[in-house]
Structure 1
Amino acid sequence: MKKLKDVLAKKSLLEYSTEISIILASLGLLAFFKLTEKVIEGDTSGFDQRVLLWFHNSAGLSEPIGPAWLEVVMRDITALGGLLVLGLLTVAACGYLWLSQRHKLALFVALSIPAGSLLNSLLKGFIERPRPDIVPHATGAALSSFPSGHAMMSAVVFLILGALLSLSTDDKRIKIYILCWSVLLTILVGISRLYLGVHWPTDVIAGWIIGATWALISLLIYHRFIRTTE
Protein backbone atom coordinates (compact mmCIF):
# COMPACT_ATOMS: atom_id res chain seq x y z
CA MET A 1 0.00 0.00 0.00
CA LYS A 2 2.84 2.34 0.85
CA LYS A 3 4.55 1.62 -2.47
CA LEU A 4 1.35 2.47 -4.30
CA LYS A 5 1.11 5.79 -2.47
CA ASP A 6 4.73 6.56 -3.30
CA VAL A 7 4.13 5.86 -6.98
CA LEU A 8 1.02 8.02 -7.04
CA ALA A 9 2.84 10.82 -5.26
CA LYS A 10 5.58 10.82 -7.88
CA LYS A 11 3.17 11.11 -10.77
CA SER A 12 2.52 14.67 -11.84
CA LEU A 13 -0.86 16.22 -12.49
CA LEU A 14 0.07 16.39 -16.17
CA GLU A 15 0.60 12.63 -16.25
CA TYR A 16 -2.79 12.05 -14.66
CA SER A 17 -4.53 14.41 -17.07
CA THR A 18 -2.77 12.72 -19.99
CA GLU A 19 -3.95 9.28 -18.93
CA ILE A 20 -7.50 10.50 -18.34
CA SER A 21 -7.51 12.27 -21.71
CA ILE A 22 -6.38 9.10 -23.49
CA ILE A 23 -9.15 7.11 -21.80
CA LEU A 24 -11.80 9.71 -22.66
CA ALA A 25 -10.60 9.97 -26.26
CA SER A 26 -10.72 6.18 -26.59
CA LEU A 27 -14.25 6.11 -25.20
CA GLY A 28 -15.24 8.91 -27.57
CA LEU A 29 -13.94 7.02 -30.60
CA LEU A 30 -15.66 3.84 -29.46
CA ALA A 31 -18.97 5.67 -28.95
CA PHE A 32 -18.70 7.29 -32.38
CA PHE A 33 -17.99 4.01 -34.16
CA LYS A 34 -20.83 2.26 -32.32
CA LEU A 35 -23.28 5.04 -33.18
CA THR A 36 -22.11 5.06 -36.81
CA GLU A 37 -22.71 1.32 -37.00
CA LYS A 38 -26.24 1.74 -35.64
CA VAL A 39 -26.98 4.54 -38.11
CA ILE A 40 -25.73 2.56 -41.11
CA GLU A 41 -27.83 -0.43 -40.06
CA GLY A 42 -30.91 1.79 -39.68
CA ASP A 43 -31.38 1.05 -35.99
CA THR A 44 -31.72 4.73 -35.08
CA SER A 45 -34.45 5.68 -37.57
CA GLY A 46 -37.29 5.53 -35.04
CA PHE A 47 -35.42 7.65 -32.50
CA ASP A 48 -34.34 10.13 -35.18
CA GLN A 49 -37.86 10.64 -36.49
CA ARG A 50 -39.47 11.02 -33.07
CA VAL A 51 -36.98 13.63 -31.88
CA LEU A 52 -36.96 15.59 -35.14
CA LEU A 53 -40.76 15.69 -35.29
CA TRP A 54 -40.84 16.98 -31.70
CA PHE A 55 -39.28 20.22 -32.96
CA HIS A 56 -42.18 20.77 -35.39
CA ASN A 57 -45.88 21.47 -34.94
CA SER A 58 -47.96 18.33 -35.28
CA ALA A 59 -50.66 20.32 -37.09
CA GLY A 60 -48.26 21.46 -39.79
CA LEU A 61 -44.77 20.05 -40.09
CA SER A 62 -43.69 23.01 -42.19
CA GLU A 63 -43.65 25.13 -39.03
CA PRO A 64 -41.15 24.56 -36.19
CA ILE A 65 -42.40 24.82 -32.63
CA GLY A 66 -42.44 28.14 -30.81
CA PRO A 67 -42.98 31.74 -31.90
CA ALA A 68 -41.73 33.12 -35.20
CA TRP A 69 -38.85 34.99 -33.57
CA LEU A 70 -37.43 31.71 -32.26
CA GLU A 71 -36.74 30.53 -35.80
CA VAL A 72 -34.84 33.76 -36.46
CA VAL A 73 -32.80 33.20 -33.30
CA MET A 74 -32.04 29.62 -34.34
CA ARG A 75 -30.84 30.80 -37.75
CA ASP A 76 -28.47 33.22 -36.01
CA ILE A 77 -27.24 30.52 -33.64
CA THR A 78 -26.65 28.03 -36.45
CA ALA A 79 -24.54 30.65 -38.23
CA LEU A 80 -22.13 30.53 -35.28
CA GLY A 81 -21.24 27.00 -36.36
CA GLY A 82 -20.86 27.88 -40.02
CA LEU A 83 -17.66 27.91 -42.03
CA LEU A 84 -17.43 31.71 -42.19
CA VAL A 85 -17.75 32.43 -38.46
CA LEU A 86 -15.59 29.53 -37.31
CA GLY A 87 -13.04 30.28 -40.02
CA LEU A 88 -12.77 33.94 -39.05
CA LEU A 89 -12.51 33.01 -35.38
CA THR A 90 -9.71 30.56 -36.15
CA VAL A 91 -7.81 33.08 -38.29
CA ALA A 92 -8.21 35.76 -35.61
CA ALA A 93 -6.91 33.40 -32.91
CA CYS A 94 -3.94 32.35 -35.04
CA GLY A 95 -3.08 35.97 -35.80
CA TYR A 96 -3.23 36.95 -32.15
CA LEU A 97 -1.03 34.03 -31.10
CA TRP A 98 1.50 34.73 -33.86
CA LEU A 99 1.75 38.42 -32.93
CA SER A 100 2.14 37.36 -29.29
CA GLN A 101 5.26 35.40 -30.31
CA ARG A 102 3.53 32.09 -29.58
CA HIS A 103 4.36 30.71 -32.99
CA LYS A 104 4.13 27.01 -32.15
CA LEU A 105 0.71 27.46 -30.59
CA ALA A 106 -0.46 29.49 -33.60
CA LEU A 107 0.64 26.70 -35.93
CA PHE A 108 -1.06 24.14 -33.69
CA VAL A 109 -4.38 25.97 -33.98
CA ALA A 110 -3.86 26.52 -37.72
CA LEU A 111 -3.36 22.79 -38.25
CA SER A 112 -5.66 21.12 -35.73
CA ILE A 113 -8.87 22.95 -36.66
CA PRO A 114 -8.62 22.58 -40.48
CA ALA A 115 -7.64 18.94 -39.92
CA GLY A 116 -10.89 18.49 -38.01
CA SER A 117 -12.80 19.99 -40.92
CA LEU A 118 -11.06 17.61 -43.32
CA LEU A 119 -11.99 14.68 -41.08
CA ASN A 120 -15.63 15.77 -41.15
CA SER A 121 -15.63 15.92 -44.95
CA LEU A 122 -14.07 12.46 -45.17
CA LEU A 123 -16.64 11.00 -42.79
CA LYS A 124 -19.52 12.60 -44.68
CA GLY A 125 -18.19 11.27 -47.97
CA PHE A 126 -17.72 7.79 -46.58
CA ILE A 127 -21.12 7.44 -44.89
CA GLU A 128 -23.20 9.52 -47.35
CA ARG A 129 -26.32 9.73 -45.22
CA PRO A 130 -29.18 11.71 -46.82
CA ARG A 131 -30.58 14.79 -45.12
CA PRO A 132 -33.93 14.52 -43.31
CA ASP A 133 -36.89 14.49 -45.68
CA ILE A 134 -39.78 14.34 -43.22
CA VAL A 135 -39.73 18.09 -42.47
CA PRO A 136 -38.88 21.12 -44.63
CA HIS A 137 -35.39 22.58 -44.28
CA ALA A 138 -35.57 26.05 -42.72
CA THR A 139 -32.07 26.91 -43.91
CA GLY A 140 -29.69 25.87 -46.65
CA ALA A 141 -27.77 22.61 -46.29
CA ALA A 142 -25.23 20.96 -48.55
CA LEU A 143 -23.27 17.69 -48.58
CA SER A 144 -24.41 14.58 -46.73
CA SER A 145 -25.84 14.55 -43.25
CA PHE A 146 -23.64 12.40 -41.00
CA PRO A 147 -21.95 13.61 -38.88
CA SER A 148 -23.22 17.18 -38.58
CA GLY A 149 -20.49 19.55 -39.72
CA HIS A 150 -21.87 22.41 -37.65
CA ALA A 151 -22.04 20.29 -34.48
CA MET A 152 -18.63 18.75 -35.02
CA MET A 153 -16.74 21.88 -35.98
CA SER A 154 -18.39 23.93 -33.22
CA ALA A 155 -17.06 21.37 -30.75
CA VAL A 156 -13.62 21.42 -32.37
CA VAL A 157 -13.25 25.21 -32.52
CA PHE A 158 -15.02 26.28 -29.34
CA LEU A 159 -13.50 23.55 -27.18
CA ILE A 160 -9.94 23.94 -28.49
CA LEU A 161 -9.96 27.74 -28.29
CA GLY A 162 -11.85 27.71 -25.00
CA ALA A 163 -9.38 25.29 -23.44
CA LEU A 164 -6.41 27.32 -24.65
CA LEU A 165 -7.99 30.55 -23.41
CA SER A 166 -8.62 29.01 -20.00
CA LEU A 167 -4.87 28.39 -19.68
CA SER A 168 -4.30 32.15 -19.65
CA THR A 169 -5.68 32.46 -16.11
CA ASP A 170 -5.10 30.74 -12.78
CA ASP A 171 -8.56 31.65 -11.49
CA LYS A 172 -10.62 28.44 -11.43
CA ARG A 173 -13.88 30.38 -11.64
CA ILE A 174 -12.80 32.06 -14.86
CA LYS A 175 -11.58 28.74 -16.26
CA ILE A 176 -14.95 27.14 -15.55
CA TYR A 177 -16.76 30.17 -16.98
CA ILE A 178 -14.81 29.98 -20.26
CA LEU A 179 -15.25 26.22 -20.62
CA CYS A 180 -18.97 26.42 -19.80
CA TRP A 181 -19.48 28.96 -22.58
CA SER A 182 -17.51 26.76 -24.98
CA VAL A 183 -19.73 23.78 -24.20
CA LEU A 184 -22.94 25.86 -24.23
CA LEU A 185 -22.22 27.32 -27.67
CA THR A 186 -21.46 23.85 -29.01
CA ILE A 187 -24.74 22.49 -27.66
CA LEU A 188 -26.80 25.42 -28.94
CA VAL A 189 -25.42 25.12 -32.47
CA GLY A 190 -26.29 21.42 -32.53
CA ILE A 191 -29.83 22.02 -31.28
CA SER A 192 -30.33 24.73 -33.89
CA ARG A 193 -29.60 22.17 -36.63
CA LEU A 194 -32.42 19.99 -35.35
CA TYR A 195 -34.79 22.92 -34.97
CA LEU A 196 -34.15 23.98 -38.56
CA GLY A 197 -34.74 20.44 -39.79
CA VAL A 198 -31.44 19.97 -41.62
CA HIS A 199 -30.05 17.12 -39.52
CA TRP A 200 -31.16 13.93 -37.85
CA PRO A 201 -30.56 13.88 -34.07
CA THR A 202 -27.90 11.17 -34.42
CA ASP A 203 -26.06 13.39 -36.93
CA VAL A 204 -25.75 16.03 -34.25
CA ILE A 205 -24.89 13.60 -31.45
CA ALA A 206 -22.20 12.01 -33.61
CA GLY A 207 -20.88 15.47 -34.49
CA TRP A 208 -20.63 16.40 -30.82
CA ILE A 209 -18.88 13.13 -29.97
CA ILE A 210 -16.28 13.10 -32.74
CA GLY A 211 -15.77 16.88 -32.49
CA ALA A 212 -15.11 16.75 -28.75
CA THR A 213 -12.90 13.70 -29.24
CA TRP A 214 -10.86 15.45 -31.94
CA ALA A 215 -10.51 18.51 -29.71
CA LEU A 216 -9.38 16.29 -26.84
CA ILE A 217 -6.81 14.48 -29.00
CA SER A 218 -5.52 17.79 -30.34
CA LEU A 219 -5.18 19.27 -26.85
CA LEU A 220 -3.46 16.10 -25.68
CA ILE A 221 -0.89 16.53 -28.45
CA TYR A 222 -0.48 20.19 -27.49
CA HIS A 223 0.10 19.44 -23.80
CA ARG A 224 2.39 16.51 -24.50
CA PHE A 225 4.60 17.87 -27.27
CA ILE A 226 4.12 21.63 -27.69
CA ARG A 227 3.37 23.30 -24.36
CA THR A 228 6.47 21.87 -22.70
CA THR A 229 8.70 23.42 -25.39
CA GLU A 230 7.17 26.91 -25.40
Structure 2
Amino acid sequence: MLNRLVRHTHFKKAYKFVTAEVRLLASIAIVSGLVLGFFSLADEVGEGDLDVFDNFILMLFRDPDNVDLLVGPVWAHEMVRDITALGSFSLLGLIVLGVSAYLLLLRLKSEATLIVMSVAGGTILSTVLKWTYSRPRPDLSVMSTQFTSSFPSGHAMLSAVTFLTLGTLLAKIAPNRKIRIFFLGTAIFLTAVVGLSRIYLGVHFPSDVLAGWCVGAAWALLCNIAATVLQRRGEVTASVGSLLAKNAHGRHI
Protein backbone atom coordinates (compact mmCIF):
# COMPACT_ATOMS: atom_id res chain seq x y z
CA MET A 1 0.00 0.00 0.00
CA LEU A 2 2.79 2.40 0.96
CA ASN A 3 4.76 1.50 -2.16
CA ARG A 4 1.75 2.19 -4.38
CA LEU A 5 1.21 5.53 -2.69
CA VAL A 6 4.86 6.48 -3.20
CA ARG A 7 4.74 5.44 -6.86
CA HIS A 8 1.53 7.40 -7.37
CA THR A 9 3.07 10.49 -5.77
CA HIS A 10 6.17 10.25 -7.96
CA PHE A 11 4.00 9.79 -11.03
CA LYS A 12 1.96 12.91 -10.25
CA LYS A 13 5.12 14.96 -9.72
CA ALA A 14 6.62 13.66 -12.97
CA TYR A 15 3.39 14.37 -14.85
CA LYS A 16 3.23 17.94 -13.53
CA PHE A 17 6.88 18.51 -14.45
CA VAL A 18 6.44 17.19 -17.99
CA THR A 19 3.23 19.18 -18.46
CA ALA A 20 4.91 22.37 -17.27
CA GLU A 21 7.87 21.81 -19.60
CA VAL A 22 5.58 21.14 -22.56
CA ARG A 23 3.65 24.35 -21.87
CA LEU A 24 6.88 26.31 -21.62
CA LEU A 25 8.19 24.90 -24.91
CA ALA A 26 4.81 25.57 -26.57
CA SER A 27 4.93 29.19 -25.38
CA ILE A 28 8.42 29.60 -26.84
CA ALA A 29 7.25 28.10 -30.14
CA ILE A 30 4.27 30.48 -30.27
CA VAL A 31 6.52 33.46 -29.55
CA SER A 32 8.79 32.40 -32.42
CA GLY A 33 5.80 32.07 -34.75
CA LEU A 34 4.46 35.50 -33.79
CA VAL A 35 7.84 37.15 -34.32
CA LEU A 36 8.17 35.42 -37.70
CA GLY A 37 4.66 36.60 -38.59
CA PHE A 38 5.57 40.18 -37.72
CA PHE A 39 8.68 40.21 -39.91
CA SER A 40 6.77 38.57 -42.76
CA LEU A 41 4.15 41.32 -42.55
CA ALA A 42 6.88 43.96 -42.40
CA ASP A 43 8.52 42.58 -45.56
CA GLU A 44 5.23 42.47 -47.47
CA VAL A 45 4.29 45.97 -46.35
CA GLY A 46 7.69 47.26 -47.46
CA GLU A 47 7.23 45.69 -50.90
CA GLY A 48 3.65 46.94 -51.22
CA ASP A 49 2.19 43.43 -51.49
CA LEU A 50 -0.54 44.18 -48.94
CA ASP A 51 -1.78 47.46 -50.39
CA VAL A 52 -4.76 45.88 -52.16
CA PHE A 53 -5.72 43.88 -49.06
CA ASP A 54 -5.39 46.90 -46.77
CA ASN A 55 -7.44 49.20 -48.98
CA PHE A 56 -10.14 46.58 -49.55
CA ILE A 57 -10.67 46.07 -45.80
CA LEU A 58 -10.65 49.80 -45.06
CA MET A 59 -13.26 50.47 -47.73
CA LEU A 60 -15.64 47.97 -46.13
CA PHE A 61 -16.21 50.59 -43.43
CA ARG A 62 -16.63 53.55 -45.80
CA ASP A 63 -19.50 54.92 -47.82
CA PRO A 64 -18.63 54.03 -51.46
CA ASP A 65 -20.09 57.37 -52.63
CA ASN A 66 -18.07 59.36 -50.08
CA VAL A 67 -14.97 57.70 -48.60
CA ASP A 68 -14.78 60.36 -45.89
CA LEU A 69 -17.94 58.97 -44.28
CA LEU A 70 -18.00 55.90 -42.05
CA VAL A 71 -20.74 53.31 -42.43
CA GLY A 72 -23.20 52.91 -39.59
CA PRO A 73 -25.07 55.34 -37.34
CA VAL A 74 -23.39 58.27 -35.61
CA TRP A 75 -23.77 56.66 -32.17
CA ALA A 76 -21.73 53.68 -33.43
CA HIS A 77 -18.95 56.04 -34.50
CA GLU A 78 -18.83 57.55 -31.02
CA MET A 79 -18.89 54.13 -29.40
CA VAL A 80 -15.91 52.99 -31.47
CA ARG A 81 -14.02 56.16 -30.54
CA ASP A 82 -14.60 55.31 -26.89
CA ILE A 83 -13.40 51.75 -27.44
CA THR A 84 -10.24 52.86 -29.24
CA ALA A 85 -9.37 55.03 -26.23
CA LEU A 86 -8.88 51.80 -24.25
CA GLY A 87 -5.62 51.37 -26.14
CA SER A 88 -4.31 54.88 -25.50
CA PHE A 89 -1.08 55.29 -23.59
CA SER A 90 -2.67 57.42 -20.87
CA LEU A 91 -5.56 55.03 -20.14
CA LEU A 92 -3.35 51.95 -20.27
CA GLY A 93 -0.97 53.70 -17.89
CA LEU A 94 -3.80 54.31 -15.42
CA ILE A 95 -4.86 50.66 -15.66
CA VAL A 96 -1.32 49.47 -15.01
CA LEU A 97 -0.96 51.80 -12.04
CA GLY A 98 -4.29 50.64 -10.60
CA VAL A 99 -3.52 46.93 -10.96
CA SER A 100 0.02 47.40 -9.63
CA ALA A 101 -1.30 49.25 -6.58
CA TYR A 102 -3.78 46.43 -5.97
CA LEU A 103 -1.00 43.84 -6.16
CA LEU A 104 1.16 45.88 -3.79
CA LEU A 105 -1.72 45.94 -1.30
CA LEU A 106 -1.72 42.13 -1.51
CA ARG A 107 2.03 42.21 -0.87
CA LEU A 108 2.74 40.89 -4.37
CA LYS A 109 5.67 43.21 -5.07
CA SER A 110 7.33 40.94 -7.64
CA GLU A 111 4.12 40.66 -9.65
CA ALA A 112 3.58 44.43 -9.62
CA THR A 113 7.17 45.05 -10.70
CA LEU A 114 6.89 42.52 -13.50
CA ILE A 115 3.75 44.20 -14.88
CA VAL A 116 5.30 47.68 -14.84
CA MET A 117 8.51 46.48 -16.49
CA SER A 118 6.59 44.48 -19.10
CA VAL A 119 4.40 47.39 -20.18
CA ALA A 120 7.29 49.88 -20.07
CA GLY A 121 9.42 47.55 -22.19
CA GLY A 122 6.57 47.05 -24.66
CA THR A 123 6.10 50.81 -24.96
CA ILE A 124 9.78 51.32 -25.76
CA LEU A 125 9.68 48.49 -28.30
CA SER A 126 6.60 49.98 -29.99
CA THR A 127 8.29 53.37 -30.29
CA VAL A 128 11.46 51.86 -31.77
CA LEU A 129 9.51 49.84 -34.34
CA LYS A 130 7.49 52.88 -35.43
CA TRP A 131 10.68 54.89 -35.90
CA THR A 132 12.24 52.02 -37.84
CA TYR A 133 9.45 51.49 -40.39
CA SER A 134 7.96 55.03 -40.55
CA ARG A 135 4.92 53.99 -42.61
CA PRO A 136 2.52 56.83 -43.47
CA ARG A 137 -1.00 56.71 -42.04
CA PRO A 138 -4.09 56.06 -44.19
CA ASP A 139 -5.80 59.13 -45.62
CA LEU A 140 -9.18 58.04 -44.25
CA SER A 141 -8.89 58.93 -40.57
CA VAL A 142 -11.86 60.72 -39.02
CA MET A 143 -9.95 61.44 -35.83
CA SER A 144 -7.62 64.26 -34.85
CA THR A 145 -4.07 64.53 -36.15
CA GLN A 146 -1.92 61.47 -35.47
CA PHE A 147 1.62 62.14 -34.31
CA THR A 148 3.26 58.76 -34.90
CA SER A 149 3.78 56.55 -37.93
CA SER A 150 1.42 53.75 -38.88
CA PHE A 151 3.37 50.46 -38.68
CA PRO A 152 2.87 48.70 -36.34
CA SER A 153 -0.30 49.97 -34.69
CA GLY A 154 0.68 51.32 -31.29
CA HIS A 155 -2.83 50.92 -29.88
CA ALA A 156 -3.05 47.30 -31.07
CA MET A 157 0.43 46.47 -29.81
CA LEU A 158 0.23 48.20 -26.44
CA SER A 159 -3.25 46.88 -25.72
CA ALA A 160 -1.94 43.37 -26.47
CA VAL A 161 1.13 43.94 -24.28
CA THR A 162 -0.88 45.41 -21.41
CA PHE A 163 -4.07 43.36 -21.41
CA LEU A 164 -2.42 40.02 -22.24
CA THR A 165 0.37 40.56 -19.71
CA LEU A 166 -2.17 41.50 -17.05
CA GLY A 167 -4.46 38.65 -18.06
CA THR A 168 -1.79 35.94 -17.98
CA LEU A 169 -0.21 37.16 -14.75
CA LEU A 170 -3.53 37.61 -12.96
CA ALA A 171 -4.55 34.16 -14.22
CA LYS A 172 -1.43 32.74 -12.59
CA ILE A 173 -2.37 34.10 -9.19
CA ALA A 174 -6.12 33.47 -9.56
CA PRO A 175 -7.60 31.16 -6.91
CA ASN A 176 -9.55 28.93 -9.32
CA ARG A 177 -9.98 27.96 -12.98
CA LYS A 178 -13.11 30.02 -13.65
CA ILE A 179 -11.37 33.23 -12.65
CA ARG A 180 -8.33 32.29 -14.75
CA ILE A 181 -10.55 31.82 -17.80
CA PHE A 182 -12.28 35.14 -17.07
CA PHE A 183 -8.98 37.03 -16.90
CA LEU A 184 -7.63 35.49 -20.12
CA GLY A 185 -10.91 35.86 -22.01
CA THR A 186 -11.28 39.50 -21.02
CA ALA A 187 -7.68 40.25 -22.01
CA ILE A 188 -8.12 38.69 -25.46
CA PHE A 189 -11.48 40.42 -26.03
CA LEU A 190 -10.16 43.89 -25.10
CA THR A 191 -7.08 43.41 -27.28
CA ALA A 192 -9.24 42.40 -30.24
CA VAL A 193 -11.80 45.22 -30.03
CA VAL A 194 -9.13 47.91 -29.66
CA GLY A 195 -7.34 46.70 -32.79
CA LEU A 196 -10.56 46.43 -34.80
CA SER A 197 -11.57 49.93 -33.74
CA ARG A 198 -8.38 51.31 -35.30
CA ILE A 199 -9.30 49.74 -38.64
CA TYR A 200 -12.90 50.95 -38.46
CA LEU A 201 -11.83 54.53 -37.82
CA GLY A 202 -9.28 54.39 -40.64
CA VAL A 203 -6.41 55.36 -38.33
CA HIS A 204 -4.43 52.26 -39.29
CA PHE A 205 -4.18 49.78 -42.13
CA PRO A 206 -5.27 46.23 -41.23
CA SER A 207 -1.68 45.03 -41.68
CA ASP A 208 -0.60 47.59 -39.05
CA VAL A 209 -3.04 46.07 -36.56
CA LEU A 210 -2.05 42.49 -37.40
CA ALA A 211 1.61 43.39 -36.90
CA GLY A 212 0.82 45.12 -33.61
CA TRP A 213 -1.06 42.05 -32.39
CA CYS A 214 1.82 39.76 -33.39
CA VAL A 215 4.61 41.63 -31.64
CA GLY A 216 2.42 42.63 -28.68
CA ALA A 217 1.28 39.05 -28.06
CA ALA A 218 4.86 37.82 -28.46
CA TRP A 219 6.07 40.30 -25.85
CA ALA A 220 3.25 39.38 -23.47
CA LEU A 221 4.09 35.67 -23.85
CA LEU A 222 7.75 36.38 -23.16
CA CYS A 223 6.71 38.14 -19.97
CA ASN A 224 4.51 35.15 -19.14
CA ILE A 225 7.51 32.86 -19.58
CA ALA A 226 9.51 35.09 -17.24
CA ALA A 227 6.66 34.95 -14.71
CA THR A 228 6.63 31.14 -14.96
CA VAL A 229 10.36 30.94 -14.27
CA LEU A 230 9.99 33.31 -11.31
CA GLN A 231 7.05 31.28 -10.02
CA ARG A 232 9.18 28.12 -10.06
CA ARG A 233 11.84 29.94 -8.07
CA GLY A 234 9.22 31.04 -5.57
CA GLU A 235 9.59 34.73 -6.44
CA VAL A 236 6.06 34.92 -7.85
CA THR A 237 3.19 33.66 -5.71
CA ALA A 238 1.39 30.58 -7.04
CA SER A 239 -2.04 32.01 -6.24
CA VAL A 240 -3.79 34.66 -4.24
CA GLY A 241 -5.56 31.89 -2.35
CA SER A 242 -2.29 30.39 -1.14
CA LEU A 243 -1.04 33.83 -0.09
CA LEU A 244 -4.18 34.57 1.90
CA ALA A 245 -4.02 31.12 3.50
CA LYS A 246 -0.42 31.74 4.46
CA ASN A 247 -1.26 35.11 6.00
CA ALA A 248 -4.20 33.62 7.88
CA HIS A 249 -1.95 30.87 9.24
CA GLY A 250 0.55 33.47 10.38
CA ARG A 251 -2.16 35.38 12.27
CA HIS A 252 -3.32 32.23 14.04
CA ILE A 253 0.24 31.53 15.18
Name the TM-score, length of structure 1 as normaliser. 0.91
Count of matched residue positions in the alignment of Structure 1 and Structure 2: 223
- 3-state SS of the aligned residue for 1:62? strand
* Residue 197 (structure 1) aligned with residue 194 (structure 2): no
Stretches of structure 2 lacking an aligned partner (at least 5 in a row)? 1-10, 236-253
Q: Distance in 1 between matches of 2:134 and 2:16?
A: 49
* Residue 33 (structure 1) aligned with residue 30 (structure 2): no
| Residues 111, 169 of structure 2: 8 Å contact kept | no
* Residue 12 (structure 1) aligned with residue 25 (structure 2): no
- 3-state SS of the aligned residue for 2:62? coil
Q: Which has the larger radius of gyration?
A: 2
Q: What is the root-mean-square deviation in Å for CA atoms of aligned residues?
A: 1.7
Q: Distance in 2 between matches of 1:98 and 1:48?
A: 43
| Residues 136, 150 of structure 2: 8 Å contact kept | yes
How far does residue 139 in structure 1 lie from its aligned partner after superposition? 4.1
**Matched residues, percent identical?**
40
Match for residue 173 of structure 1 among 178, 199, 207: 178
Map 1:211-222 to 2 at 5 A. Answer: 211-222=216-227
Structure 1 residues 98 and 70: CA distance shift in structure 2, 3 A = same
Structure 1 residues 99 and 177: CA distance shift in structure 2, 3 A = closer
| Residues 139, 196 of structure 1: 8 Å contact kept | no
Match for residue 53 of structure 2 among 16, 36, 47: 47
* Residue 127 (structure 1) aligned with residue 106 (structure 2): no
**Greater shift in the superposed pair: 39-48 or 101-110:** 101-110
* Residue in structure 2 matched with residue 114 of structure 1 by the alignment: 120
Name the TM-score, length of structure 2 as normaliser. 0.83
Q: Distance in 1 between matches of 2:52 and 2:26?
A: 35
* Residue 164 (structure 1) aligned with residue 169 (structure 2): yes
* Residue 99 (structure 1) aligned with residue 105 (structure 2): yes
How far does residue 228 in structure 1 lie from its aligned partner after superposition? 2.8
* Residue in structure 1 matched with residue 159 of structure 2 by the alignment: 154
| Residues 194, 200 of structure 1: 8 Å contact kept | yes
Structure 1 residues 10 and 155: CA distance shift in structure 2, 3 A = closer
How far does residue 159 in structure 1 lie from its aligned partner after superposition? 0.7
How far does residue 9 in structure 1 lie from its aligned partner after superposition? 4.3
* Residue 141 (structure 1) aligned with residue 185 (structure 2): no
Stretches of structure 1 lacking an aligned partner (at least 5 in a row)? none
Structure 1 residues 50 and 88: CA distance shift in structure 2, 3 A = same
* Residue in structure 2 matched with residue 182 of structure 1 by the alignment: 187
* Residue in structure 1 matched with residue 93 of structure 2 by the alignment: 87
- 3-state SS of the aligned residue for 1:141? coil
Task: Tell which has more relative contact order, 1 or 2 (C-alpha 8 A, sep 6+).
Answer: 1
Residues 110-151 of structure 1: CA deviation (Å, up to 9, x unaligned): 111110010000000000000002x24334422100000000
